[in-house]
């Protein structure tokens, strides 16, 4: 059975000093983010992603670089990020919302999405099919379903480039997909056990993976202790 590894971290658990792990492109993206909270969330997600991928690939996390070329239009800023330095590497996907950042890694195409189940926003009814709407009795139901849809759309690298109503998910089973994405039976979805109030889902191409979900506090803490020895602050 193939595996999918998921790591999560509280945004405030990632010290600013770990920004040394980011490369010039990451830092330029970070500078374009206007709000301090959004910038911190971006930092947390990408530090965690670098640490997890660095460990998995056995490389210095600061030496990784990422390609974000969109498969449709060739724009280099909004495609699914892939590891540029790994040759044929694992696939990964990340999501950051409120105070939490999550990264998923797998040998198969993978997508992850999280939401705050207490956000209490107006559920986006236009994103759901009629049968899906009937399964949403609360905002939490909607948030869970939304993460399943978005995780699947991120696994295939489309994101919201495909209207979410074009895919239908009942329970945690995909039942309809646009033809170009393949058969709904080609994908598996898993709910993620995350700290409240967050809900999240993982999608992989292929059968149900063996799933591991871990907090990344120790990984981040170890890296923070190594900063002065391994990574020069002049990278910031
Ligand atoms: C992917 C997307 C759904 C994420 O939205 P979100 O729920 O607000 O944010 P999340 O935190 O859950 O996920 C964001 C992460 O998804 C990843 N991501 C971005 N585009 C992606 C894509 N096409 N496929 C998979 N993952 C993608 C990035 O890592 C991003 O994090 P970053 O901005 O810090 O690098 C949304 O950004 C999107 O649809 N982007 C592409 C759509 C597009 O431009 N299509 C036009 C095609 S020409």
Give me the DSSP letters along 144-181.
HHHHHHHHHHHHTT-GGGS-GGGSEEETTEEEE--GGG
- Ligand 1 contacts (CB < 6 A) are 42, 45, 70, 72-73, 78-81, 93-97, 113, 150, 154, 157-161
Are both 164 and 72 inside the same structural domain? no
Lookup: tokens for 115: 């939401």
Are both 19 and 83 inside the same structural domain? yes
CATH of the domain at 86: 3.90.470.20
- Angle formed at CA 40 by CA 38 and CA 41, multiple of 5 degrees: 65
What is the 3-class SS of 5-56, one letter each residue? EEEEEEHHHCCHHHHHHCCHHHHHHHHHCCCHHHHHHHHHHHHHHHHHHHHH
| pLDDT at residue number 26 | 92
Are both 26 and 90 inside the same structural domain? yes
Residue nearest to atom 47 of ligand 1 (CA): 161
| pLDDT at residue number 230 | 74
Are both 19 and 95 inside the same structural domain? yes
- Rounded to whole angstroms, the Cα distance separating 174 from 102 reads 22
What is the reported pTM? 0.95
Q: How far is the CA of 97 from the centre of ligand 1 (A)?
A: 12
| Residue 110 near residue 84 (C-beta atoms within 8 A) | no
Residue nearest to atom 3 of ligand 1 (CA): 159
- The total number of structural domains that make up the chain: 2
Are both 2 and 104 inside the same structural domain? yes
Q: Which domain holds residue 129?
A: 117-187
| 41: in domain | yes
| 200: in domain | no
| pLDDT at residue number 122 | 73
Would the pLDDT of 236 be above 60? Answer: no
Buried-state track 193-226, b at ≥16 Cβ within 10 A, e below 16: ebeeebbbbbbbbeeebebebeebeebbeebbee
Would the pLDDT of 124 be above 90? Answer: no
Residue nearest to atom 19 of ligand 1 (CA): 80
User: CB within 8 A of 42, min separation 6: which ones?
Assistant: 29, 30, 33, 96
pLDDT category at 234 given cuts 50, 70, 90 is: low
By most ligand atoms within 8 Å of CB, the mutation choice from 78, 82, 114, 153 for ligand 1 is 78
Q: How far is the CA of 108 from the centre of ligand 1 (A)?
A: 18
Residue nearest to atom 33 of ligand 1 (CA): 42
Regarding beta strands 91-97 and 100-106, do their DSSP bridges make them parallel or antiparallel, or are they unpaired?
A: antiparallel
| Residue 71 near residue 78 (C-beta atoms within 8 A) | no
Q: How far is the CA of 34 from the centre of ligand 1 (A)?
A: 18
Are both 94 and 129 inside the same structural domain? no
| 160: in domain | yes
Q: How far is the CA of 80 from the centre of ligand 1 (A)?
A: 7
By most ligand atoms within 8 Å of CB, the mutation choice from 159, 181, 204 for ligand 1 is 159
Q: What is the pLDDT of residues 185-214, one digit of tens each?
A: 999 999 999 999 999 999 999 999 999 999
Residue nearest to atom 21 of ligand 1 (CA): 80
Would the pLDDT of 85 be above 80? Answer: no
Instruction: Please state the atom number of ligand 1 nearest to the C-alpha of residue 158.
Output: 23
Lowest mean pLDDT among 4-13, 30-39, 77-86, 138-147: 77-86
pLDDT category at 72 given cuts 50, 70, 90 is: confident
Taking the CB of residue 37, how many other CB atoms lie within 10 A of it? 12
Percentages of the chain per state (helix, strand, coil), in multiples of 5: 40, 25, 35
Going from the C-alpha of 54 to that of each of 21, 47, 81, 114, 219, the distances in angstroms are 11, 10, 15, 23, 11
CB burial of residue 111 (10 Å; 0-12, 13-18, 19+): buried
| 204: in domain | no
Are both 27 and 3 inside the same structural domain? yes
């Amino acid at each position: 059975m193939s595996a999918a590894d998921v790591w999560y971290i509280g945004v405030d658990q990632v010290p600013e000093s770990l920004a040394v792990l980011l490369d010039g492109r990451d830092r330029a993206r970070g500078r374009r983010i206007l709000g301090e909270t959004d910038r911190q969330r971006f930092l947390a997600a990408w530090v965690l992603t670098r640490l997890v991928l660095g460990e998995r690939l056995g490389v210095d996390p600061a030496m990784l670089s990422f390609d974000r070329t969109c498969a449709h239009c060739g724009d280099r800023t909004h495609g699914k990020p892939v590891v540029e330095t790994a040759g044929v590497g694992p696939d990964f996907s990340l999501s950051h919302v409120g105070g939490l950042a999550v990264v998923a890694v797998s040998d198969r195409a993978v997508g992850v999405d999280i939401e705050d189940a207490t956000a209490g926003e107006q559920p986006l009814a236009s994103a759901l099919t009629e049968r899906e709407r009937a399964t949403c009795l609360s905002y939490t139901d909607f948030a869970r379903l939304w993460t399943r849809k978005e995780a699947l759309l991120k696994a295939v690298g489309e994101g919201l480039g495909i209207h979410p109503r074009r895919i239908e998910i009942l329970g945690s089973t995909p039942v309809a997909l646009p033809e170009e994405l393949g058969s709904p039976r080609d994908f598996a979805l898993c709910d993620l056990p995350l700290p409240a109030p967050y809900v999240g889902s993982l999608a992989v191409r292929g059968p149900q993976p063996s799933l591991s979900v871990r907090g990344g506090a120790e990984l981040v803490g170890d890296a923070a202790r190594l900063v002065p020895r391994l990574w020069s602050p002049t990278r910031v």
